[in-house]
Amino acid sequence: MTHSIDKQDTDYSICLVCSSGGHLFELYNLKPWWSQHRRFWVTFPKPDATNLLNGESVAWGSYPTNRNIPNLVRNTILAIRVLRKERPDVIVSTGAGIAVPFFWIGKLFFRCKTVYIEMFTRMDKPSLTARLIFPVGDRFLVQRQSLVSRFPRSEYIGPVV
């Protein structure tokens, strides 16, 4: 079943996927929105994530992800397994590398809607993750006006933190 994703619809499931640290902090700050929906997280088993997401449904990914082919393979297998089981309607991420296999697998095999939020720390140059998932992003949100010209379909939302 496909759901329309708008402010009034709370009957959908969200996969919140991000690296720990600042990426997790920014995505967690959207709690007034995501807390109203069925959800699960995918991140790394680091102290900040285990503490912040205590009580949440979490799948733990493999790190590091930057230019690490074995962990890309592990996280791709995790994406297939988790997305097959959970069947989210939408995948949301602030990055980084762990988002890539989830966006591609989610879009190509499970027809998930995808929403990417580029980090506030990105001033004028898009992240590698943003460039890798842009082709499968349904909504691409930027927190800096200077990035709108770098991504033709992007929407400026201002800072989330």
Its domain, for residue 109, covers 13-156
CB 104 within 8 A of CB 28: no
83-140 pLDDT, tens digit each: 999 999 999 999 999 999 999 999 999 999 999 998 776 667 788 899 899 999 999 9
Q: How many domains does the chain have?
A: 1
Q: Does a structural domain hold residue 7?
A: no
pTM: 0.90
From residue 1, alpha-carbon distances to 36, 75, 110, 128, 136 in Å are 19, 26, 11, 32, 20
Which residues make Cβ contacts (< 8 Å) with residue 123, sequence separation at least 6? 144, 146
The reported pLDDT for the residue numbered 13 is 97
Measure the CA–CA gap between 18 and 3, rounded to whole angstroms: 23
Alpha-carbon Rg for the chain in angstroms:
15
Amino acid letter for position 87? R
16-41 pLDDT, tens digit each: 999 999 999 999 999 999 999 999 99
User: Which residue's entry shows tokens 């296999």?
Assistant: 101
**124-128 long-range contacts, CB within 8 A, separation 24+:** 124/150, 125/150, 126/150, 126/151, 127/95, 127/96, 128/96, 128/97
Pair type for strands 58-60 and 38-43: parallel
Q: Does a structural domain hold residue 4?
A: no
Q: Does a structural domain hold residue 2?
A: no
Q: Does a structural domain hold residue 135?
A: yes
Q: Does a structural domain hold residue 6?
A: no
Measure the CA–CA gap between 107 and 9, rounded to whole angstroms: 21
Q: Does a structural domain hold residue 32?
A: yes
Q: Does a structural domain hold residue 121?
A: yes
CATH code of 138's domain: 3.40.50.2000
Q: Does a structural domain hold residue 5?
A: no
